[in-house]
A and B are shown apart, each in its own frame.
Chain A
Amino acid sequence: MQVFLQNWIYLIASVSLIGVGLYIVLTKENIFRIIVGLNIIESGTNLFMIAIAWHPKAVMPIYTATDHLAVNGKVIAADPLPQSLVLTAIVIGLGTTALALAIGVKIFEKYGTLDVRKIKEAEK
């Protein structure tokens, strides 16, 4: 049971988050809801990237913290490179979210609605 969970639980979490986010983006009409969906997709992607850098016996990649963390005389740290990539991805996600919200607020000021369908009709 434990082995099964270790292998699969993080993958299930990340993939279902990506799926839920994609579903929101594809079906919802409210602009703010679409941005919520984009955020959830981003969380799922980050989780996926961290999960494939991990090993059940791994310790965190910090020298001063791992001094006494030998497992059976052997030690493995989680792969730090994907972690650094995810740091970057999180910050980029914040930037995109802020810009999208600014555009959304602007759209509400000018069209008086956040519904994508109504905006399309107003353009015609």
Chain B
Amino acid sequence: MNIFNNAALLIGIPLLFAFSIPLFGFISKQLTKWVTIFVIGFNATFSLYILLAHKFPSVVVMGNWVPPFGENLYVGPVAVFLVTVVSLIGLLIAIYNLWAIKGGDVTRFSVLFLMYIAGASGIILTGDIFNLFIFMEITEITSYALAAYGPERRALGGAFKFLVVSSIGSTLYLLGVMLIYTQLGTLNIAEIAARIGQTTPGLLTFAGVLLISGLAVEAELFPFNGWVPDTYTGAVNGVSAALSGIGAIAGVYALFRIVMTVLGKDGMYVLTYGKLDLMAVIAILATATVVIGELSALTQKNVKKMLAYSSMAQMGLVAAGFSIGSTLGVYGGIFQLINHSIAKSMLFLIVGVLVAAGVGERIENFKGLWKRSPFLSLAFTIGAFSMLGFPLFAGFWSKFAIVGASIQRGGWYDFIIGLVLFASVAEAFYYLRIVTYIFSSTEMEKPKIKVNLSPAIPIFILAVAIVAIGVYPNLIGNFSMQSAGEFTHKMKDYVLNVIPTITAH
């Protein structure tokens, strides 16, 4: 067990500054946004340092109690990689917010945005099943508040819907945690994972269903994702970008950490303990999510709503990749997750710039955009192509890996991948429709759109990242492969790193 206690600063520093931002707010409102950028930048640098200096896998001990007794953070390959991605994307969105967030209570907005990023990092880092619940609540409470921010009244309805759905979800999660606790007497993920075989199968299945239905709310799986379109459409664009880029990463991570590491069996393909194979259940739910999401997106005339439905569908694709259960499938899932975050947050930011310039959110408004702003049009096209999975764009490699993994597994997964590919055709249809609108010419000459530096920097960096990953996929691929191992070999790569003396039961 390597101990690297200083990694607790990844949570500690954001908390310290979140509490002190109201004091900075007395000086100037603009200053609070810069504080946010500074703190998220610290997180990004520190996690990048851990990633590149190879300080992982290690355990962060909290309160001087070694893992099965107290709480701990686990800094494994997955955690380091995803925290880096989350804080980098968060940093870019914070730079965008410098320009976009003007009216209202800017100080409180900065607090909430900062803690949203820190909460997502906490979900990814934590090694305790109840602590996961706390961080889930942190991200959820911040996201209701952030989603309700803004002058438009439709934001409130979306936020309220999200609140109701996810507070029921977290209640279910809590019940599931308690059912597991009654069996094993512990809340530590590593120890539960090692001793999960000792539980009663019937109770374990019920607990698993409760846990999944709690976590699927943030992971946007089918019966629990009714909030997605309203919330994403209503929120301010920076917030929508954060919800789809960062919240989705945290949600999917939490779902599969519980299903694969806690409830799963070690093996060639991960299956779960209990009377019901929960991985198969998730595969079915994921397919339903993809199909419903894509078909709903096809009928939308509002670009923002379309992006919301598309985001739902992409999450389904990610979950389908994970649920194959082999290392290659998880690799594809993680890769797709990150590609989606980069591309979708960029698309939301572009829509934000366009709305602020008076273009509007409807598809017709995008006509002749090429003449008005070549930069935004190119960036939008790059994002759309990455979503579709065109070769030489980032999305291609991840979709390729998911298809390959599912063919490798065979059986009824062939059927699932067939449905997913069929749905992807719909995706191609609606994204290409916007792209043709952008490049079509109009008779009327409209004024050019001037893009400020602050929104231009994140859009530019994200677009370059998509092309770079597309040309050289190993940039992300190596880390994804490393992370996939942690999910599929739970004893070797997770449990024994946290509690070296434990034996599997």
Contacts of B181 in A (CB 8 A): 81-82
The answer, yes or no, to whether B134 is at the interface (CB within 8 Å) is yes
* Complex CA–CA separation, A120 to B164 (angstroms): 16
* Complex CA–CA separation, A99 to B321 (angstroms): 36
Secondary structure of the B contact surface, majority rule: helix
* Complex CA–CA separation, A25 to B153 (angstroms): 23
CB-based contact B144/A99 at 8 Å? yes
Contacts of B187 in A (CB 8 A): 81
Secondary structure of the A contact surface, majority rule: helix
CB-based contact A96/B167 at 8 Å? yes
Candidates B144, B154, B182; contact of A103 at CB < 8 Å:
B144
The answer, yes or no, to whether A119 is at the interface (CB within 8 Å) is yes
CB-based contact B153/A110 at 8 Å? yes
Closest residue on chain A to residue B172 by CB atoms: A45
The answer, yes or no, to whether B355 is at the interface (CB within 8 Å) is no
Closest residue on chain B to residue A44 by CB atoms: B171
Contact flags B146-185 to A (C-beta < 8 A → 1, else 0): 0010000110110110011001100100110010011000
The answer, yes or no, to whether B284 is at the interface (CB within 8 Å) is no
Candidates A45, A52, A88, A103; contact of B171 at CB < 8 Å:
A45
CB-based contact A45/B175 at 8 Å? yes
Candidates B134, B144, B160, B167; contact of A107 at CB < 8 Å:
B160
The answer, yes or no, to whether B137 is at the interface (CB within 8 Å) is yes
* Complex CA–CA separation, A12 to B159 (angstroms): 33
The answer, yes or no, to whether A20 is at the interface (CB within 8 Å) is no
Interface size counted on chain A using CB atoms at 8 A: 30
The answer, yes or no, to whether B109 is at the interface (CB within 8 Å) is no
The answer, yes or no, to whether B130 is at the interface (CB within 8 Å) is yes
Closest residue on chain A to residue B154 by CB atoms: A123
Q: How far is the CB of A89 from chain B (nearest CB, A)?
A: 6
* Complex CA–CA separation, A27 to B94 (angstroms): 40
CB-based contact A103/B163 at 8 Å? yes
Closest residue on chain A to residue B157 by CB atoms: A119
Q: How far is the CB of B119 from chain A (nearest CB, A)?
A: 13
Q: How far is the CB of B232 from chain A (nearest CB, A)?
A: 15
Known contacts A45-B174, A52-B182, A89-B174, A96 near B141 by CB under 8 Å: yes
Contacts of A85 in B (CB 8 A): 130, 178
Contacts of A31 in B (CB 8 A): 160
CB-based contact A107/B175 at 8 Å? no
Q: How far is the CB of A94 from chain B (nearest CB, A)?
A: 11
The answer, yes or no, to whether A19 is at the interface (CB within 8 Å) is no
Closest residue on chain B to residue A42 by CB atoms: B171
Candidates B160, B164, B168, B178; contact of A82 at CB < 8 Å:
B178
CB-based contact B163/A99 at 8 Å? yes
* Complex CA–CA separation, A38 to B164 (angstroms): 8
CB-based contact A48/B156 at 8 Å? no
Contacts of B137 in A (CB 8 A): 92, 95-96
Interface residues of A in 74-100 (CB under 8 A from B): 81-82, 85, 88-89, 92, 95-96, 99-100
Contacts of A81 in B (CB 8 A): 181, 187
* Complex CA–CA separation, A42 to B168 (angstroms): 9
Residues of B at the A interface (CB closer than 8 Å) are 130, 134, 137, 141, 144-145, 148, 153-154, 156-157, 159-160, 163-164, 167-168, 171, 174-175, 178, 181-182, 187
8 contacts between A and B (CB under 8 A): A25-B168, A41-B171, A42-B171, A45-B174, A45-B175, A103-B156, A103-B163, A111-B153
Residues of A at the B interface (CB closer than 8 Å) are 22, 25, 31, 34, 38, 41-42, 45, 48-49, 52, 81-82, 85, 88-89, 92, 95-96, 99-100, 103-104, 106-107, 110-111, 119-120, 123
